Amino acid sequence: MDMELPILYEDNDLLAVHKPEGLAAIPERDPSRPSARRLLEAARGERLWVVHRLDKEASGVLLFARNAEAHRYMNTLFEQRQVRKVYRALVHGRLEPGQGQIRAPIRMYGSGRMGVDPERGKPSETRYRVLEYLDEAYSLIEALPLTGRRHQIRVHCYHIGHPIVGDPRYGDRSVQQRYPRLMLHALSIRFRHPNGQELEIVAPVPESFQQVLDALRTELAASTTDHSATTSSPSST
């Protein structure tokens, strides 16, 4: 697979790229399938160490270490919760209150599916705030995972009754399949670099995400206009 991943940041210790949706971050079980790590290592002729997760279906910032020492350093930062990751997501429904924190333990169930389990799950926290309400149908949110469980934001949004748009794994498949992508984007990552400086790396919202958002806004605006025209039309006498 011939794909060039946009470089967001690079130095002797770290490499950050903008991963598109649909591309796995690390090699999957099927060796013939591409992954961001495999593509980068082949193109650059060097070994890269995985620093954090990013779902295959999501887009955004993906960070690698370029040496073992930097890898150990970043692992320590994540373990100590000294890395701030910000996501942009579109969820179903009107999420209220407009900001809050979801605390719900998560564990793995069958077939790799994650879910909330108050008894056996690992502590999991996600902070969020609503950026925009699209009528009553959708909410555009900023989400900050304070822990790093697999599929955490997706599971937490589903748990509170507001699944992420385009997520057939955590939501009604018949509804979710009408959307062309998972509306989850890793917008930024911030941490203290091994050299001691604060570093924030940002991946702009991709066109594929924005197109879905704009299409839904247009659809909702047209629906509102049609409804207003119908309700305001004079009744016959």
Residue 57: how many other CB atoms lie within 10 Å: 20
d(CA 179, CA 192): 37
Nearest Cα to 43, choosing from 68, 67, 15? 15
202, containing H or E segment: strand 198-202
Tokens coding 52: 């954090």
The residue annotated as part of the active site, out of 2, 11, 55, 226, is 55
237, containing H or E segment: none
Question: Is 55 one of the catalytic residues?
Answer: yes
Reduced to 3 states, what is the DSSP secondary structure of residue 9? strand
Residue carrying the six token digits 């939501």 = 171
The amino acid at 172: D
Cis check: omega of the bond before 145, within 30 degrees of 0: no
As annotated, the active-site residues are 55
